[in-house]
């Protein structure tokens, strides 16, 4: 699921990174949230490319009057039919093989509801980069730096990915510590939807509900 807003420069790379996944059965659902640039036009062009590729069992794209992230995510979830849901921002990308790696824990253990991987960092031109403590792009590795969003979150929150505190409700009450690009079982998602517009951070709200 791709919620898109004013990302004309990035939406093409985002969609093509999904098309490049090796997972055999996928659907692609995109909603443009009333972008004022060329995002919707790019989505229409890439949607046709995605359909012709034969890569997806289903491709759906829609645009709407700007309603905000929660409205867009709720519409996407209503449109989705898959048993596992992946949400990706329209300025993010998947690395090759990401879906296969993330799906493995879900297939091996029915009690696992959410899986998240490492997030490499990239600059405004899509190049892999480093961050400093203030999330500024670093040109070298001098001083404190982070090569992944996960490393940055661990430094900022003190919550290590494989610790007992990771993913717990009381830990989410302190801060969100799950990086982008997570997969979630649809059966879990249906227990907590819809996204609430009153929540200041929709991803933190979602993880709080899922952790219950």
Q: Which two tokens stand for residue 131?
A: 């961050």
**C-alpha to C-alpha distances, 152 to 11, 90, 207, nearest whole angstrom:** 25, 21, 19
Crossing angle between the packed helical segments 202-211 and 69-79, to the nearest 10 degrees: 50
Specify the pLDDT at position 109: 96
What is the C-alpha end-to-end distance of the chain, expressed in Å?
Answer: 23
Q: Full-prediction pTM beyond 0.95?
A: no
pLDDT digits (tens, 9 = 90+) for 168-205: 999 999 989 999 999 999 999 999 999 998 887 999 99
């Amino acid at each position: 699921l791709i919620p898109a807003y004013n990302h004309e420069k990035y939406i093409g790379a985002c969609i093509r990174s999904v098309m490049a996944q090796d997972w055999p059965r996928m659907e692609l659902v995109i909603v443009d949230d009333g972008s004022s640039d060329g995002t919707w036009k790019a989505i229409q062009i890439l949607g046709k490319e995605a359909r012709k590729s034969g890569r997806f069992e289903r491709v759906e794209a829609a645009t709407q009057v700007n309603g905000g992230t929660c409205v867009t995510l709720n519409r996407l979830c209503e449109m989705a039919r898959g048993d596992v849901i992946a949400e990706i921002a329209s300025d993010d990308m998947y690395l090759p093989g990401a879906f296969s790696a993330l799906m493995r824990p879900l297939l091996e253990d029915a009690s696992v509801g959410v899986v998240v991987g490492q997030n490499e960092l990239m600059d405004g031109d899509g190049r892999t980069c480093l961050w400093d403590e203030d999330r500024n792009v670093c040109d070298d590795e001098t001083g404190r730096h982070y090569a992944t969003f996960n490393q940055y979150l661990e430094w900022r929150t003190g919550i290590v990915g494989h610790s007992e505190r990771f993913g717990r409700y009381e830990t989410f009450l302190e801060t969100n510590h799950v990086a982008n690009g997570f997969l979630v079982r649809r059966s879990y998602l249906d227990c907590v939807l819809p996204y609430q517009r009153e929540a200041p951070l929709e991803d933190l709200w979602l993880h709080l509900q899922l952790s219950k």
